[in-house]
């Protein structure tokens, strides 16, 4: 794939007084720069060789590559499939190796755990519980993040969930704290998932949410509008693009569709599998995918999507716009694309520029959301 979104770039900078290279592309948070929180982690990280180090949110893999260069045994994981591929490329660019994992299903104990804190307190507390389980007693968590992202509260959470914490570095409105893992927290776990029930088109439907997955607290009204607007005929092939908790895919399967659910998030894929199982769905499969990259050689009668436009603490439309382009690419002639978005986001302009799509109409709108529909046409 030669589209700009899927084109990897190699970048280089100085980190902790060392020159380092990394791989990046759209779809990764701050991929063209090194965040202050990452610099704090790199500057504080031990340079003693042979120590097992776990990076719980590796991003582009910069800190892990630096640790591996210094002789550490590194394990790097991230919820994002794009981050996992970036990290694998970054390790290769720097001539080092490490274990790279999509998600946070971890085995082993570590002397150091690194966490560049993401947005969302529930998600951070979930990761802190993973850190507590992964650290050996007396091991250290290095926790960093921006003040505006909530790092002060996260340090308090780490003090409760991991062990005594002390802020060691402050730079560029970011903080780094070191927490020593207490023996008393070895069996502490966060609540990972919750089961919910709702009614759509007069039928009950079940879904599972968990930290790190969109609309963790329950079904958001935009997704409800999307499900109620979409038409799926028995036997039609359906792509749930950016499946989140999987409720759109489960609803499409109940309508008789043959469904494929894709997402870049390991937590979302886990929630989707649980949602499909809870609904007794057997006519669906779940795939890890950067946008629709895993299914770009397939064609679908229906594509349903609620494109993400948040990345980290900011707003970023690269992924959302690629969702639209990929949806058009995989849509059969005469097929239907259903897209829900906040009213202020004008996706119809992007859709209108794609030759694979016909006229764009509005299937539903209220004061907050709009469901757009476009038909696939001759290529």
pLDDT by residue (tens digit) across 267-282? Answer: 999 999 999 999 999 9
Final residue of a structural domain among 121, 153, 185 = 185
- Cα–Cα distance, 38 to 357 (Å, whole number): 42
- Domain identity same for 129 and 221: no
- Domain identity same for 130 and 231: no
Closest CA to 304 of 374, 364, 356: 374
Band of pLDDT at residue 314, cut at 50, 70 and 90: very low
- Domain identity same for 168 and 270: no
The per-residue pLDDT for range 282-307, each reduced to its tens digit, is 999 999 999 999 999 999 999 999 99
Range of the domain at 98: 4-185
The confidence score (pLDDT) of residue 148 equals: 94
Of the candidate ranges 28-42, 60-74, 200-214, 228-242, the one whose mean pLDDT is the lowest = 200-214
Q: What is the pTM of this model?
A: 0.93
Of the candidate ranges 249-253, 345-349, 362-366, the one whose mean pLDDT is the lowest = 345-349
CA distances from 376 to 224, 238, 320 (A): 23, 14, 19
Band of pLDDT at residue 344, cut at 50, 70 and 90: confident
- Cα–Cα distance, 1 to 355 (Å, whole number): 18
Band of pLDDT at residue 167, cut at 50, 70 and 90: very high
* Average pLDDT of the segment spanning 37-58: 92
Quote the number of domains for the chain: 2
- Domain identity same for 125 and 44: yes
Final residue of a structural domain among 161, 185, 209 = 185
Give yes or no for residue 351 having a pLDDT over 80. Answer: yes
The confidence score (pLDDT) of residue 313 equals: 44
Higher pLDDT, 195 or 86: 86
CATH number where 232 lies: 3.40.50.150
The per-residue pLDDT for range 210-224, each reduced to its tens digit, is 888 877 667 889 999
CA distances from 4 to 61, 158, 220 (A): 21, 39, 32
Give yes or no for residue 132 having a pLDDT over 50. Answer: yes
Band of pLDDT at residue 315, cut at 50, 70 and 90: very low
* Average pLDDT of the segment spanning 26-47: 94
Residue 167: beta bridge partners?
177
Residue with tokens 């082993």: 108
* Average pLDDT of the segment spanning 111-126: 94
The confidence score (pLDDT) of residue 187 equals: 54
Band of pLDDT at residue 176, cut at 50, 70 and 90: very high
- Domain identity same for 145 and 23: yes
The confidence score (pLDDT) of residue 311 equals: 52
Final residue of a structural domain among 185, 208, 231 = 185
- Domain identity same for 150 and 203: no
- Domain identity same for 61 and 129: yes
Task: Give the chain's radius of gyration (CA, Å).
Answer: 22
* Average pLDDT of the segment spanning 239-258: 96
Give yes or no for residue 139 having a pLDDT over 80. Answer: yes
- Domain identity same for 179 and 234: no
The confidence score (pLDDT) of residue 193 equals: 77
Band of pLDDT at residue 352, cut at 50, 70 and 90: confident
- Domain identity same for 264 and 319: yes
- Domain identity same for 137 and 217: no
The confidence score (pLDDT) of residue 189 equals: 53
CB atoms within 10 A of CB 168: 14
- Domain identity same for 257 and 143: no
- Domain identity same for 275 and 338: yes
């Amino acid at each position: 794939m030669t589209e700009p979104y899927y084109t990897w770039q190699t970048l280089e900078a100085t980190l902790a007084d060392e020159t380092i290279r990394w791989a990046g592309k759209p779809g990764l948070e701050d991929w063209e720069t090194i965040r202050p929180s990452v610099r704090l982690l790199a500057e504080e990280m031990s340079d003693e060789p042979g120590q097992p180090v776990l990076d719980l949110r590796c991003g582009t893999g910069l800190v892990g590559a630096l640790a591996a260069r210094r002789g550490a045994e590194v394990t790097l994981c991230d919820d994002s499939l794009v981050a996992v591929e970036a990290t694998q490329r970054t390790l290769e660019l720097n001539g080092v190796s490490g274990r790279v994992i999509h998600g946070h299903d971890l085995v082993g104990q570590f002397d150091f755990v690194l966490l560049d804190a993401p947005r969302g307190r529930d998600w951070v507390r979930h990761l802190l519980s993973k850190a507590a389980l992964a650290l050996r007693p007396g091991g250290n968590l290095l926790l960093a993040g921006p003040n505006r992202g909530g790092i002060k509260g996260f340090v308090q959470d780490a003090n409760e969930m991991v062990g005594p914490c002390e802020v060691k570095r402050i730079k560029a409105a970011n903080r780094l704290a070191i927490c020593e893992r207490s023996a008393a927290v070895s069996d502490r776990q966060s609540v990972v998932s919750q089961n919910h029930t709702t009614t759509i088109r007069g039928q009950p439907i079940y879904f599972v949410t968990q930290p790190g997955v969109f609309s963790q607290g329950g079904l958001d009204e935009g997704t409800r509008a999307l499900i109620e607007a979409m038409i799926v005929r028995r036997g039609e092939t359906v792509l749930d693009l950016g499946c989140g908790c999987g409720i759109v895919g489960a609803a499409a399967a109940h309508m008789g569709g043959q469904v494929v659910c894709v997402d870049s998030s390991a937590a979302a894929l886990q929630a989707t599998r649980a949602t499909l199982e809870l609904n007794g769905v057997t006519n669906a499969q779940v795939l890890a995918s950067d946008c629709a990259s895993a299914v770009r050689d397939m064609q679908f009668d229906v594509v349903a999507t609620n494109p993400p436009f948040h990345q980290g603490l900011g707003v970023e439309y690269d992924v959302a716009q690629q969702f639209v382009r990929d949806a058009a690419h995989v849509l059969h002639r005469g097929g239907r694309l259903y897209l829900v978005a906040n009213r202020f986001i004008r996706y119809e302009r992007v859709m209108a520029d794609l030759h694979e799509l016909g006229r764009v109409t509005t299937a539903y709108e209220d004061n907050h959301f709009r469901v757009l529909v476009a038909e696939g046409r001759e290529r």
